[in-house]
A and B are shown apart, each in its own frame.
Chain A
């Protein structure tokens, strides 16, 4: 399968239901290459489900998700290799060391020099000093950084981060923001779910807000950030009243 040089995500009429519970309802979204998108919304708004469907971890009930024009579910291994995903869970084996975990994933992604890839990712996320410690002995924040290193090992073109700042202290959070700014290149897509409005307005270039599984706000963040923040907070307040 030849992949187009330009990566873009197209979501059309996406609906995802868990039994009778509708997590996503008819979501349409175009995310071209070079996008750095903050996905926001109250708890249960559908942010995590949206990222999981894009990553191919959840099957849409209706509608479609394509990356580079190819449906993720049908794409197979080569398209999956383009995606890096960090979820609420670390996806790390707690009885293995951070190095063993990263090396395992590097090999599974078929990287040529797994050890070098591990060293690079560890340096990027400043976890080099804990590489030989068992993951279960790491603090929550350090585990989160190792999880980020795992997701970035293969230099993915699509980076999906589900509340990546959870558990990070201020310094680590600032480093992550810097790293994401650095990773936001015209060839790449970054989608990050957040709760912090200030953080959403300081790095990402677009804000998508979900409410009850629907896109309620989709605005570029270049100017009028106060206006966007007000609109988003008003949306949250109206949802809380419901």
Chain B
């Protein structure tokens, strides 16, 4: 069986589990909504630099939301030895990673699709055609965050304080993609896309590709006891 087929089967199982419990979507969605609503009260309604602050708030919310979701997604595999069940299957270890990555991306993107319009309305932003670029930034930035997070969630799952350890592992490594995501989102929100913003976007693409390869290469070793 190909990596892709196994990955889709695993992601499909995660989706089915989520549809049944709504654990990830509910907790993550509510968390991000709370952050955005709270930010909207403190947010200046006019003035220079609003978009930069807004982009920072947005990505902090996305980062913590992704951490919540990924931690939960891997914790489900730890319960009742389900991870061992996956390891016993003929599915390549890499496809297990891809399956978990697909599912985590699906959940995080789903939350973002709902939150982005709410965020734009509550913070009284007017991105105009920049909304498409903002969506692209969210797509690429989230891919980087979730790739790193899925790998580290697998590392942390065998540890006792995994909920505490996961952010400690992910945050330092995700600094480059977070900065790039904030910078590009700010450019998208102001409608002043520059060559500098394109460079940040390319950095995100490079980051995503690099960490996807690193994760695929290291995940089989991470899973070995």
Interface of A with B (CB < 8 Å)? 52, 55-59, 73, 76-78, 80-81, 83, 85, 87-96, 100, 104-105, 107-110, 150
Contact = CB atoms under 8 A, between A and B. Distances in A.
B48 interface: no
Interface in B82-101: 82, 84-92
Given A95-B21, A100-B16, A108 B76 contact: no
Contacts of A92: 80, 82, 85
Interface of B: 1, 5-6, 9-10, 13, 16-17, 20-21, 76, 79-82, 84-92, 224-225
A94 B91 contact: no
A94 B79 contact: yes
**What are the 3 closest A-B residue pairs judged by CB atoms, nearest first?**
A89-B81, A91-B85, A77-B90
B89 A91 contact: no
Given A59-B225, A110-B90, A94 B80 contact: yes
Nearest to B90: A77
B81 A109 contact: no
Contacts of B76: 93
A107 B80 contact: no
Contacts of B224: 59, 73
A95 B20 contact: yes
Given A92-B80, A93-B76, A57 B87 contact: yes
A96 B16 contact: yes
Contacts of B82: 91-93
Contacts of B17: 93, 95-96
B3 to A, nearest CB: 10
A205 B50 CA distance: 77
B80 A108 contact: no
A85 B90 CA distance: 13
B129 to A, nearest CB: 42
A88 to B, nearest CB: 8
B218 to A, nearest CB: 15
Nearest to A53: B225
Nearest to B8: A107
Given A56-B87, A57-B225, A59-B225, 8 more contacts: A77-B90, A77-B91, A80-B89, A80-B90, A89-B84, A95-B20, A104-B9, A107-B9
B90 A81 contact: yes
Q: Which of B16, B20, B81, B85 has the most CB of A within 10 A?
A: B85
A57 B88 contact: yes
Q: Which of A76, A104, A108 has the most CB of B within 10 A?
A: A108
Contacts of A76: 92
A182 B85 CA distance: 25
Q: Which of B17, B21, B80, B81 has the most CB of A within 10 A?
A: B80
6 contacts: A77-B1, A85-B84, A88-B81, A93-B80, A94-B80, A108-B1
A129 B13 CA distance: 22
Contacts of B90: 77-78, 80-81, 108-110
A55 B16 contact: no
A2 to B, nearest CB: 16
A25 to B, nearest CB: 18
Contacts of A93: 13, 17, 76, 80, 82
A102 to B, nearest CB: 11
Nearest to B91: A108
Contacts of B92: 76-77
B80 A89 contact: yes
A105 B89 contact: yes
Nearest to A85: B88
A90 B81 contact: yes
A90 B21 CA distance: 20
Contact of A108 (B20, B21, B81, B89): B89
A93 B20 CA distance: 11
Q: Which of A73, A95, A100 has the most CB of B within 10 A?
A: A95
A166 to B, nearest CB: 14
A114 to B, nearest CB: 10
